[in-house]
Amino acid sequence: MPGPIEFYFDFSSPYGYIASTLIDDLGGRVGREVRWKPFLLGPVFKANGQAPLVDVPMKGDYSKRDFDRTARYHGVPFSLPAKFPIGAIAALRSFYWIDDRDAAKAKAFAQAVYKAYFADGVDITDAAQVLAIAQRLGIDGTALSAALNDQAVKDRAKQEVDAIIAKGAFGSPFFIVDGEPFWGNDRLPMLEDWVRRGGW
């Protein structure tokens, strides 16, 4: 059986959000499972001495325009959040805790978090908001709330982030399929062609 498409994303990434609305359809077209894995760009940018995109001169203004335009191009509701970029720690830890229990629900949770943050203006740095999103999906809020304060859960999330960065992911979205890395939702047509043709 062919391997999955690994989909790495930061909950604070507009392009990751847009990719999240496209990647499962792509996986379906090429007959590959998509494995969703959130991580954090903060440690990458710190290690590489990079600034967040919107803080880079010239690039910042362009990027804001391009976020909006790209979302409209793909028909995805989008509004740049007032608090942006963020470190989406509660959402990250929640994801892996849910994922250990129900992978399909973890994906639904990630989609709901993205929509809340980028379409509905919800402040996902607020753990209470993250819990509310989880509860609306039928996840046990009391258990998740306790988990967010559990060192083992924190460590689990950190190990995932470290492992993803060790694989070479330095941006969001980042994809790996059959060992081949692709950065950016604008590489999706290339990724699709790569999978269909087995490289070129």
Q: How far is the CB of 24 from a second copy (least distance, A)?
A: 21
- Residue 58 contacts a second copy per CB under 8 A: yes
Q: Closer to a second copy by CB, 95 or 182: give it.
A: 182
- Residue 155 contacts a second copy per CB under 8 A: no
What phi and psi, each to the nearest 5 degrees, are found at residue 84? -160, 140
CB 172 within 8 A of CB 8: yes
Q: Which of 52, 87, 141, 181 binds a second copy (CB under 8 A)?
A: 181
Q: Which of 3, 29, 31, 59 binds a second copy (CB under 8 A)?
A: 59
Q: Which of 43, 80, 141, 170 binds a second copy (CB under 8 A)?
A: 170
Q: How far is the CB of 13 from a second copy (least distance, A)?
A: 15
Pick the piece of the chain touching a second copy (CB under 8 A) from 42-50, 99-107, 112-120, 126-134: 42-50
- Residue 79 contacts a second copy per CB under 8 A: no
Site residues, a second copy (CB under 8 A): 44, 47-48, 50, 56-59, 61-62, 65-66, 69-70, 72-73, 168, 170-171, 181, 183-184, 186-187, 189-190, 193, 200
